Each structure stands twice: as structure tokens, then as C-alpha cells.
A and B are shown apart, each in its own frame.
Chain A
Amino acid sequence: MSDQPISRREFLRLSATLAAGSVLAACAPAATPVPTAAPTKAAAMSATAVPATTAAAMACSKGDICIKPTSVKLPKGAVTFRLLDSGDVKGVYWKKFFELYQKSYPNITCQYDGLGWNEIAKIVPLGVQNGNAHDCFSIPLGISPAQAIQEGWIRPLDDLIPDLDKVKAAFPPMSFVEGINMFGGKTYTFPLGTNQRSNTMLLFNQEQMQKAGYDPIGKPFTWDDFRAAAKKITEQGAGKYFGIIDGGAQLPRWGFLIGDLMRLNGGVSYVNATGAEGFLDLRKGEYIFTNDNYIGAIELLLAMKADGSFFPGFMSLNALQARANMGQGNAGMMLQGLWCIDTWRAENPNFKYAVALTPTQKGGGTYSPLHASAGGNVEWWLYAKSKVPEIVADIFCLRGTLEGQYAWNKIAGLGNPGIFPQAIETASDIPSDLKSLEMQFKMFRVGPTLAVRNPDIVKVDLERKAPTPSVEQVIQGLMSGQITGVKQAMQGVKDAYDKELDRALKAAKDKGANVSRDDYVFPNWDLTKDYTEADYKAIKK
């Protein structure tokens, strides 16, 4: 990708050019003639037309789920295939997908389970222990893919997809990386979604915002604007609605809120090895908790709470309940992800929402970009003892094409955009929603990924335990008033996290891992740019 922040249009054009040729070849049976690719949408569309020779020929227009043969050899006998993930809009997609899949392959029975992460945490390990885990599952959140491989939970896809390299070439650059979706040179999963999703877009109630006299889209908020707007909305609501809401009982929310408010200020950024939340400034390898911007973000929310701008009872709400209240018009603003929109459109058709940039200290739409790890969003893994691994491979292949991504985006793209940026247009039929997605894409860069530089870093993650209290818990405690003194509290958090990281490093080293605290330092990282392979090479001694 280019060095300069690029506009989405440019980006789409670029990636389409890159992708089109290979996308169409991807996972296609060898016999299928590949039409000459052209970097236009029309060509992409016409190319999706199924050759007459294929069995499951059906008319697929853009955004339809289209089941056609891939290079994967599917089982012939009657088999059952089971897939488990964390549900929600993903479930909507899978149910539809499996219905069609079963129709195309009557010998395959599909079973989908969408469960909460708490259940996944128990079910997957027990299923593996018992030899009957789902054929395709999400790895529980506390467990890293490296750990899952070490435990023999999951297996690679390499021998299942004959033209794997070709398939992978269709993906955007830096999609397949060691330590995220590849381990020991083998490909374990496809990054079918993007991980460049903001958890903290400013979602607001248009009417209430207008009445308060603010326009966060035309004039993006500073922190002060944000606070003042929340206060104003609360005042005009006179008890009927409030300035801001969030799910204060849902601990991870606090990490996202404070982290993003801080990061967008050009403070620092962080991406840890597995792409989960980490809190290290990877330019210096230091924890960010005592950073002025971090403390400032906590103090901002504390001040807004003192103003009385928060929805009463927000401390005992989870994100879902906060979202529902927002849809009811009970609060003017919320910092959450674009996935809320799906719910509102289904449940609150009269609610006029709008999306703006997350407030930043300077405001005016200037911000330091957010960063995601390389390797996209990896959600689905192939169970090591699956009796039908081919089906998992087949599904990955189907979804890893442009038309597969169109179909995914059409159902789930607003909340969980696919990884092909050029397929985003099906995510919504409302121009403003697409604009919001564009804004979100623009906010992100690919950050340095620890495991890409030193794969041994996953061994440190195996040793790491979250300190108690975690940073999220401490922020919650500050917000609820159980802890006072932001600076002191955050110093305590920093000390605890430092201690734990050093302990984990030592433990990993004792077990033979070649790691050090220096692996967490990327001095040549320019926050405004993608961290590319060249950058990794530059810091290699």
C-alpha cells in the first residue's frame, strides 16, 4: 500500500487491480476457464457468472451467496458438518449460507451454533478433549492460536486446498502473516474479515444533537466539544434523555474507550502479537497507562460523569443494553462500533442515527490513525480431528473470493466488514452508512505485529496472565468512585503489567524461547503509515 494516507476510492481501485485477476482464479476448479480480468466492477460481476459445466449453477448477482465448486474435493457420502462461533449477525449469514450449501450438496448436513464467549470457553476445550469438537470453531478468547496448535486443537489447511498460494494471492497485502494465521509456514485459517474496526465511533442521535446545536460531522469534536455537547444534551433532555451512554458493566468497553480516546491523539499505539488488546507503546516498548493522554482520557470521562452527562445506571448496563437505550432515544451519544446500526435498523426503524469521528483532543478531524495487527480478523479455525476438513476448506475458499466477500458484506458487512476493501459496497444500501465505513477504513493503518518479527513471542503470550485488577477493572473502579486518584491508580496498573510481562518473558526464556523486552520496541515505526515488510527488514540486526 502507498505511503500516504489514501482515499478509499483510490484504495478500492488499487486493491481491485491487485485482486481481480487472482480472485477469480481462486479456488476455481482447474478446468474452469478464467475470464480475462479487468479492474472494473462490471467485469468482476460478469466474471462471477458460473460456467455452464458446474453442477450447482445458479444465477448469482452481486451480494448473493453463491455456492459453486472450488478446487477442494468434497466428501461424497452423507456427512454432518458443524460450525461454532460467537453468533449475532454472523449467525444470520451462516444460517443462510448453510441452507444453500445443503441444497447444493444434499449429502452434507450443516449445523450452526452461535454461543457467547463464556460458553465457547468451555465448549471448545471439552469438545476437543472428547474428540467431538465442532469441525470449525472460534478459539476461546483467553487462548492464543499458538496455544491451540500446541494443544493439538487445530490443523493447517495446506493439504486441503491444491492451489492455496493462488487463493491467498487474492487477499490484500499483509493478510497472511506468521504468528497470526500462519504458523511454521503453514496456513491455519483465512483472515476473512478485517480487523480494522473501530470500537469507538461517535454514534449519535441526530435530532438531539441538532437541537443542542452541534454538528460533529461538519465540525469533528474536540474533547471539550464532546463534554459540552453531552452536558447540553443532558440539560435539554431534562431527565428524558442524557448526553452519553455506554455499557459500564462490560469490562472490555473501558479498555476500548480510554485506549481509543488516547490513541487518536497521536499518543501512541499498540497492537499485540495475537491482535488482541495490548497496552504497549511499541515505539518504545513501554506501557501507556501513565501517559498524559491516557490519564487525560480517563479524566475526561470522570469530568463528564461529574457533569451528570452519563445515562443514569450506565455502570450496570452491558453494551447491548446501552445500545438498546440509545435506539430508544434515551441518550444522545455513544462511542461504539458500527455494528450497532444493524440492530437499530431492525429494532428502531424510527431512530435517526448518525456517525462521526471519535472526539480527539485537537478536534477538527485531525487524528493519529488507529492500528490493527497484520493478518486480518481470524475467527474460524479447523478442528484437528474434524472428519470433514474439506468442507471447512471449501467454505473458506468460497468466502475468500470477491463474490464471497460481497455476499458476506451484504449481510454482515456493516458490523464485520470482509477483508477485501473493494467488496465493501454491498455492506449497506444507505450512502451515509457506506460513508461511515469509509471513515472507519481511513482511521486505520496496519501496525507492527510482534510475532511477524519474532515468532517466539507467542511463547510469552502462553505464559502471560492478566493482572488482577486489570486496567479495565481499575478504570471501572475509578468511574464508580471505588478508587480515587487517577495518576496513582494508573501507576499501580503500569507497575503490575510491567512486572507480569517481565515475569512472562523470563518464564518463556527459561523454556527456551528466544525473546527479550527489545522485541517490543519498533523504533522506526511511523504512526501515520502502514508498518510494512520493509520496515521489519530495516530493524532486523
Chain B
Amino acid sequence: MEAKLRIARRASATTEQKKSSWVRQLWDRRWCYLFAAPSLILATMFTFYPIVSSWYFSLLQWSGFTADKTFVGLANYAELIQDKYFWDAFLRSFQFMIVAVPIQLILALLIAIVLNDQALKLSPLFRTMIFLPVVTTAAIVGMLMTLILSPFNGPINGVLRDLHLITQPIDFLGDPQTTLWTVIAVFIWKWLGQPMIYWLAALQTIPRELYEAAKVDGAGWWRQLWNITLPLIVPFAIVIILVTAVGALHVFPLIQTLTGGGPFFATEVMEVYIYRVAFGGETGMGTPRLGYASAAGVFFGVAVMILALFQAWGARSLRDFRSDLQSV
């Protein structure tokens, strides 16, 4: 991605030198626009338009299903910032992210490092096995996990008991003390394959010769990891962290099938909250309020975006600072 930026910078420098007119510039670049057009049109229809619609919806008092829409201005937002359950869900989403993402990243990196060993002939098999949960629909994962985590005859409790780690079975999904952690654990299990692939990709960019040279110098596994592997994959880390972090916010299907946000809101993260408010939640419980849900969606989206920009800015200034140091 850095490369792309650099090329962009270089290219814009040359165009500026030409100082050609805007029209001419646009005409010169007609292929660029033509190539960008299909994506843009599709995205406009199926992504941007729905998003803009939701901005508009957020100003309405509207169930989403009936004809009576009332324009209420920012009333939904005013109600939102006083809604305890909104803030609970909001914070829970970040709690989820802060716990899940580092574990996921580090675990995935460790596995990737192990699997990157060329001598490991079975590596593709292991890769596939680790990746398997990623390709499975959340509905099925939810169904399987409820049974596997069950405190009654569930294999996990069985193993824990056999190891004498517990005397009483743990009600992983039903006990409010454990349920959020359990959901996070299932999430990590389900999605670990994704960052693993990204890390593997990053690792494959490191030239083999570096390791060979290090070996000649007598560097051990740890030294190689510390001095070669980690420094060289740091540039990838920013993208991988971002993608993984964003993934940790989109957890709706999994939580819906595992706990439905319960017990008593204990696992209600933002997307579950929005869904509950938008469609009235579980059968007949509550009234659908698409307007209010849209306000929550917009608010949360903006908040996450600001945080991401902050993170990107932080990362960039850190990098600039480093390169300044190096150049001195």
C-alpha cells in the first residue's frame, strides 16, 4: 500500500509539471474513470445509497414497515445518548474488539510462523483445517457450539472435569460472568484463519536468504524471529490490525445464533442492539424502530471511523517519527 501511495505521489508530481487544463486532464484519464465506474456504480446502488438512506431514516420516527413516517429531526439522536442500553452495547463492542483482536493477531501470527516452515509438508492441510471455521456459516457454528459448550454432557466441560480443573460444569453461554468471554473465544476460533492467512502472506515476502545468512551467523530460532521476522512484517501489521479490528465489530450473525445478545443483554454488542431495535428483536418482543436503529448505526459508524482515523494518524506519525530518527 505504501508503494501505491508513492506511485501516486510520483505521478501527481509529473502531472502538475504539465499544467494541462482540467478538461484535458480528465480526458487523459478517461480510462481511469471508465475503469472505476463499474465498481462505483454498483457500490452507489448497493452500499452508498443504503447508507445515505439510513442517514435519512435516522431523522424519522418510523417502524420501517408502515407508511407513517414522521420527521423528527435529531430527536432519535437525543434519545440515543440517553439510552443506557445503547451505551452498554457501544462499550461492549469495543471491549469485544480490545480483547479479541490482540489474541487473534498474536495467535494467528504464531501459527503462521509455525506453518511457514518449508520443511512442513503438511502445511497446506493444517492451513485448511485452521481456515475451515472461516468458511462455515454462523448459523451452523452457533448450533454446534451450543452443544459443544453445554454444561450438560458438553465435551469441553467433560474434558475440564477429567483434568480435574473444575468440579462443577461451567455454563459457558448461560452464566453472565462467562458468556461474553465465551462468545469472544468462539469468535476467535471462527475467524482465526483469516489473520493467519494474512500473516502467512506477510511472512512469505521475507527472502529466505536472510534466514540462511542468519543461520550461518549462528543465530537461533528466537534470534531469527526477533531480528528478522518481526521487524520485516511490521509494515503489514497496520493493515492486518485494521482489517481484523473491523472484523471484530461485525459479529452479528455469530452472537445472534449463540446467545441472541443475552442473558439479559450480557452479550449485546452494537450490531445486535441495532438489529433488535430495527426489527423488534425476538418474536413479538418490542416494536420495530428502523429510524431509531438507523440513528444508532450512524452514530456508531461515525465513532468507529473517527477512532480509525485517529489510529491511522497515530500510526503514520509514529512511522514518520521513526524514519526521522533513522535519517538523522
Bound pair (A, B): yes
Q: Does A131 contact B (CB under 8 A)?
A: no
- Contact partner of A476 (CB less than 8 A), chosen from B63, B263, B286, is B263
Tell me the nearest residue of chain A to B266, going by C-beta: A482
Q: Does B264 contact A (CB under 8 A)?
A: yes
The complex places the Cα of A312 from the Cα of B172 at a distance, in Å, of 10
The complex places the Cα of A311 from the Cα of B152 at a distance, in Å, of 8
Q: Does A122 contact B (CB under 8 A)?
A: yes
Instruction: Tell me if B173 and A316 are in contact (CB < 8 A).
Output: yes
Q: Does A523 contact B (CB under 8 A)?
A: no
Instruction: Tell me if A140 and B175 are in contact (CB < 8 A).
Output: no
Chain B residues with CB under 8 Å of A142's CB are 63, 280, 284, 286-288
CB distance from B156 to the nearest CB of A (A): 12
- Contact partner of B264 (CB less than 8 A), chosen from A121, A122, A311, A482, is A482
Chain A residues with CB under 8 Å of B262's CB are 249, 251, 315, 476
Q: Does B253 contact A (CB under 8 A)?
A: no
Tell me the nearest residue of chain A to B289, going by C-beta: A465
Given the contacts A121-B279, A121-B280, A476 and B146 also touching, CB distance less than 8 Å? no
Chain B residues with a Cβ closer than 8 Å to the other chain, count: 37
The complex places the Cα of A141 from the Cα of B280 at a distance, in Å, of 9
The segment from A162-170, A189-197, A466-474 found at the interface with B is A466-474
The B57-105 residues at the A interface (CB cut-off 8 A) are 63-67, 85
Given the contacts A249-B260, A249-B263, A316-B146, A472 and B285 also touching, CB distance less than 8 Å? yes
Chain A residues with CB under 8 Å of B151's CB are 312-313
Instruction: Tell me if B263 and A480 are in contact (CB < 8 A).
Output: yes
Instruction: Tell me if B287 and A465 are in contact (CB < 8 A).
Output: yes
Instruction: Tell me if B287 and A321 are in contact (CB < 8 A).
Output: no
Q: Mark B127-151, 1 if CB is under 8 A from A, else 0.
A: 0000000000000000000100011
Chain A residues with a Cβ closer than 8 Å to the other chain, count: 48
Instruction: Tell me if A473 and B265 are in contact (CB < 8 A).
Output: yes
Chain B residues with CB under 8 Å of A468's CB are 85, 286
CB distance from A249 to the nearest CB of B (A): 6
- Contact partner of A315 (CB less than 8 A), chosen from B66, B152, B171, B286, is B171
Q: Mark A150-179, 1 if CB is under 8 A from B, else 0.
A: 111000000000000000000000000000
Q: Does B282 contact A (CB under 8 A)?
A: yes
Instruction: Tell me if A248 and B65 are in contact (CB < 8 A).
Output: no
The complex places the Cα of A311 from the Cα of B280 at a distance, in Å, of 29
The complex places the Cα of A252 from the Cα of B287 at a distance, in Å, of 14
Q: Does B259 contact A (CB under 8 A)?
A: yes
Q: Mark B16-54, 1 if CB is under 8 A from A, else 0.
A: 000000000000000000000000000000000000000
Tell me the nearest residue of chain B to A481, going by C-beta: B176
The complex places the Cα of A486 from the Cα of B85 at a distance, in Å, of 21
Instruction: Tell me if A313 and B279 are in contact (CB < 8 A).
Output: no
Q: Does A314 contact B (CB under 8 A)?
A: yes
The complex places the Cα of A156 from the Cα of B28 at a distance, in Å, of 64
- Contact partner of A470 (CB less than 8 A), chosen from B150, B179, B285, B288, is B285
Tell me the nearest residue of chain B to A483, going by C-beta: B264
Instruction: Tell me if B286 and A118 are in contact (CB < 8 A).
Output: no
Instruction: Tell me if B171 and A316 are in contact (CB < 8 A).
Output: yes
Instruction: Tell me if B171 and A470 are in contact (CB < 8 A).
Output: no
Q: Mark B270-294, 1 if CB is under 8 A from A, else 0.
A: 0000000001101111111100000
Instruction: Tell me if A316 and B174 are in contact (CB < 8 A).
Output: yes
Instruction: Tell me if B283 and A466 are in contact (CB < 8 A).
Output: no
Given the contacts A312-B169, A313-B152, A248 and B288 also touching, CB distance less than 8 Å? no
Q: Does A250 contact B (CB under 8 A)?
A: yes
Tell me the nearest residue of chain B to A86, going by C-beta: B283
Instruction: Tell me if A316 and B263 are in contact (CB < 8 A).
Output: yes
The complex places the Cα of A464 from the Cα of B282 at a distance, in Å, of 17
Instruction: Tell me if B285 and A251 are in contact (CB < 8 A).
Output: yes
CB distance from A87 to the nearest CB of B (A): 13
CB distance from B63 to the nearest CB of A (A): 8
The complex places the Cα of A472 from the Cα of B265 at a distance, in Å, of 12
- Contact partner of B67 (CB less than 8 A), chosen from A151, A465, A469, A473, is A151
The complex places the Cα of A6 from the Cα of B262 at a distance, in Å, of 44
Instruction: Tell me if B265 and A466 are in contact (CB < 8 A).
Output: no
Instruction: Tell me if B283 and A118 are in contact (CB < 8 A).
Output: yes
Instruction: Tell me if B152 and A140 are in contact (CB < 8 A).
Output: no
Instruction: Tell me if B264 and A252 are in contact (CB < 8 A).
Output: no
Tell me the nearest residue of chain A to B263, going by C-beta: A480
The complex places the Cα of A78 from the Cα of B289 at a distance, in Å, of 40
Tell me the nearest residue of chain A to B280, going by C-beta: A142
The complex places the Cα of A321 from the Cα of B283 at a distance, in Å, of 17
The complex places the Cα of A15 from the Cα of B182 at a distance, in Å, of 55
Q: Mark B226-263, 1 if CB is under 8 A from A, else 0.
A: 00000000000000000000000000000000011011
Instruction: Tell me if B280 and A249 are in contact (CB < 8 A).
Output: no
Tell me the nearest residue of chain B to A475, going by C-beta: B264
Q: Does A206 contact B (CB under 8 A)?
A: no
CB distance from B143 to the nearest CB of A (A): 9
Instruction: Tell me if B282 and A252 are in contact (CB < 8 A).
Output: yes
Tell me the nearest residue of chain B to A465, going by C-beta: B287
The A466-504 residues at the B interface (CB cut-off 8 A) are 466, 468-470, 472-474, 476-477, 479-483
Instruction: Tell me if A315 and B174 are in contact (CB < 8 A).
Output: yes
The complex places the Cα of A465 from the Cα of B284 at a distance, in Å, of 11
Instruction: Tell me if B287 and A480 are in contact (CB < 8 A).
Output: no
The complex places the Cα of A116 from the Cα of B283 at a distance, in Å, of 9
The complex places the Cα of A481 from the Cα of B174 at a distance, in Å, of 11
Instruction: Tell me if A312 and B152 are in contact (CB < 8 A).
Output: yes
The complex places the Cα of A143 from the Cα of B154 at a distance, in Å, of 39
CB distance from A485 to the nearest CB of B (A): 14
Tell me the nearest residue of chain B to A472, going by C-beta: B285
Instruction: Tell me if A143 and B263 are in contact (CB < 8 A).
Output: no
Instruction: Tell me if A121 and B288 are in contact (CB < 8 A).
Output: yes
Given the contacts A121-B280, A140-B65, A248-B263, A466 and B171 also touching, CB distance less than 8 Å? no
Name the residue in A122, A470, A480 with the highest tally of chain B Cβ atoms < 10 Å from its Cβ. A480
Q: Does A330 contact B (CB under 8 A)?
A: yes
Nearest 9 pairs of A and B residues by beta carbon: A315-B174, A141-B284, A477-B264, A316-B173, A125-B65, A312-B151, A316-B174, A117-B283, A480-B263
B residues with a Cβ closer than 8 A to A are 63-67, 85, 146, 150-154, 169, 171-176, 179, 259-260, 262-266, 279-280, 282-289
CB<8 Å pairs between A and B, sample of 18: A116-B283, A118-B282, A121-B288, A125-B66, A142-B286, A142-B287, A249-B260, A277-B284, A313-B150, A313-B173, A314-B174, A315-B173, A317-B146, A317-B174, A330-B152, A465-B287, A477-B263, A480-B266
